[in-house]
Amino acid sequence: MSRPGPERGVRVNEQIRISPIRLIGVNGEQLGIVPTSEALKRAREAGLDLVEVAPMERPPVCRIMDYGKYKYEQSRKQAKARQHQPKLKEVRLRPKTGEHDIETKVNQIRRFLEHHDKVQITVQFRGREMQHVEEGQRVMEQVLEKVQDLCKLERPPALEGRRLVAMLAPK
């Protein structure tokens, strides 16, 4: 007979066919090894459910509890385990990027930082733009100045080949 795994869920009340079982009371007290029928009777008297909490044990361990509340708490635990994982977002600019476009990119960076993601700002140079690196540095400084209240500078702007790169982390 196959035992239920986490993918199949837990057995409740009449679904528990194995007898006897180790019973745990409402307040967590050990009630010993009892026949399943008696455990079901005790659970009904308390107005609660008999829930199999450790099916792989011999004898299986069952607990008298409110099954709806138990399911809710399990879903809350799973939701808490799926919290936001910070990601690395990249925003690319060019030395000739216009004022309004820079504002749009700054708003995008602000959204990423508020969402607790790291941001890599990249100013890319092409062709003869490499003769005017100071133009790219001006754009970078302008962006950094506008977002400095929301972040800390993890890596200051540095020239890496044809790219000027800076890394920001949320405060």
Across the beta sheet with 151-160, what order do the strands follow?
Answer: 88-93, 118-124, 163-170, 151-160
Question: Dihedral sign, CA of 70, 74, 79, 83?
Answer: positive
pLDDT at 78: 87
Nearest to 3 by CA among 65, 54, 63, 75: 54
pLDDT at 165: 97
How many structural domains does the chain have?
A: 2
Whether residue 92 sits in one domain with residue 50: no
Report the CATH number at residue 17: 3.10.20.80
Does 2 fall in a domain? no
Range of the domain at 123: 88-170
Q: 73: which 2 tokens?
A: 């708490």
CA–chain centroid gap for 32, Å, is: 39
Determine the average pLDDT of the residues in 85-107: 94
Per-residue pLDDT reduced to its tens digit, 8-58: 678 899 898 888 999 999 998 999 999 999 999 999 999 999 999 888 888
Whether residue 140 sits in one domain with residue 75: no
Q: Higher confidence at residue 94 or residue 6? A: 94
Does 24 fall in a domain? yes
